[in-house]
Amino acid sequence: QKEVEQDPGPLSVPEGAIVSLNCTYSNSAFQYFMWYRQYSRKGPELLMYTYSSGNKEDGRFTAQVDKSSKYISLFIRDSQPSDSATYLCATGGPSNTGKLIFGQGTTLQVKP
């Protein structure tokens, strides 16, 4: 079993739709949770990070963590064609080794 599971998609939505991206993780010791966006042939770009259960909002993006069910989500409101990319969830901690464990990534296409 992978430590972080993520549906690879692809996910195709019309412009303006609300997008929901999800991951599950297996290790309850994980302390921090991130979402990265990766455009084709580019490095991952940090979108959001959070340490605790609950919601964190930044513009059109909301990250949600439920530690009791080991479930993390990213919601994108009013999706735009420029949001078309691969979205990677990642988790890590509690050690100081800096090891991030990534999901497989979900490919999102937002159609105009």
Partner 1 sequence: ETGVTQSPTHLIKTRGQQVTLRCSSQSGHNTVSWYQQALGQGPQFIFQYYREEENGRGNFPPRFSGLQFPNYSSELNVNALELDDSALYLCASSLDRGHADTQYFGPGTRLTVL
Residue the block writes with tokens 């966006």? 37
Q: How far is the CB of 60 from partner 1 (least distance, A)?
A: 21
Q: Is 101 in the site for partner 1 (CB under 8 A)?
A: yes
Q: Is 104 in the site for partner 1 (CB under 8 A)?
A: yes
For partner 1 (CB under 8 A), the number of binding residues is 29
Span from 13-21, 46-54, 59-67, 70-78 in contact with partner 1 (CB under 8 A): 46-54
Q: Is 21 in the site for partner 1 (CB under 8 A)?
A: no
Contacts (Cβ under 8 Å, ≥6 apart) of 80: 15, 110
Q: How far is the CB of 17 from partner 1 (least distance, A)?
A: 24
Q: How far is the CB of 2 from partner 1 (least distance, A)?
A: 9
* Residues at the contact surface with partner 1, assessed by CB under 8 A: 4, 6, 8, 32, 34, 36, 41-46, 49, 51, 88, 90, 92-93, 95-105
